[in-house]
A and B are shown apart, each in its own frame.
Chain A
Amino acid sequence: IAGITQAPTSQILAAGRRMTLRCTQDMRHNAMYWYRQDLGLGLRLIHYSNTAGTTGKGEVPDGYSVSRANTDDFPLTLASAVPSQTSVYFCASSDLAATSYNEQFFGPGTRLTVL
């Protein structure tokens, strides 16, 4: 059982390029999340999805889009990358129905550098 996988592990990207970060989970969790983590700041929610077919905006959604065509996959797309999007990106999932506290499980992260 892999849990949550993310790809790529790291990427250097030229500004203006389009990039999709992939996230797949095999735990059949209904909820999935994308965060960015920057030095000195807490994890910040970009987008989330409470169930397949629905998505919502988090704290910092500008410049990012997501889709949730099925339960397992939750890709994050940067339509036209800018240097301020240099960050470590974490995908997470949780089973909203299973527990009372919605523990989130995290993928290993993608380190993205935009030049």
Chain B
Amino acid sequence: GQNIDQPTEMTATEGAIVQINCTYQTSGFNGLFWYQQHAGEAPTFLSYNVLDGLEEKGRFSSFLSRSKGYSYLLLKELQMKDSASYLCAVMDSNYQLIWGAGTKLIIKP
């Protein structure tokens, strides 16, 4: 079956760095996405990886290892507004997104 695993909840301190991991097993692979979702709101796109390596976009970076079925989202210089859920999703062989349950990130002052 298809499976996306990520931690349920993480806590970090304002100004610090946090890494949110995602492991996946899917039928086919056409890229991995990270979305951010604030409570009560819609998911919004953060990043996309299809080749191995690190993609950097401002304070956020995303890493992919296809051989290990592994990705992480790295958030630097954490701000209170980064408190949200972070959703990992893999595009399978049918070009449909398979979603993880999301990681709720709590930022403390």
Report which A residues bind B (CB closer than 8 A).
40-45, 48, 58, 90, 96, 100-109
Q: B49 — nearest CB in chain A belongs to which residue?
A: A101
Chain B proximity of A9: nearest CB distance (Å)? 11
Flag if B87 contacts A102 (CB, 8 Å): no
Cα(A54)–Cα(B96), bound, Å: 16
Interface of A is mostly: loop
Flag if A101 contacts B41 (CB, 8 Å): no
Report which B residues bind A (CB closer than 8 A).
4, 8, 31, 33, 41-45, 48, 50, 87, 89, 91, 95-102
Cα(A49)–Cα(B14), bound, Å: 42
Flag if A43 contacts B99 (CB, 8 Å): yes
Flag if B101 contacts A108 (CB, 8 Å): no
Cβ contacts under 8 Å, A90 to chain B: 42-43
Cα(A104)–Cα(B43), bound, Å: 9
Q: B102 — nearest CB in chain A belongs to which residue?
A: A42
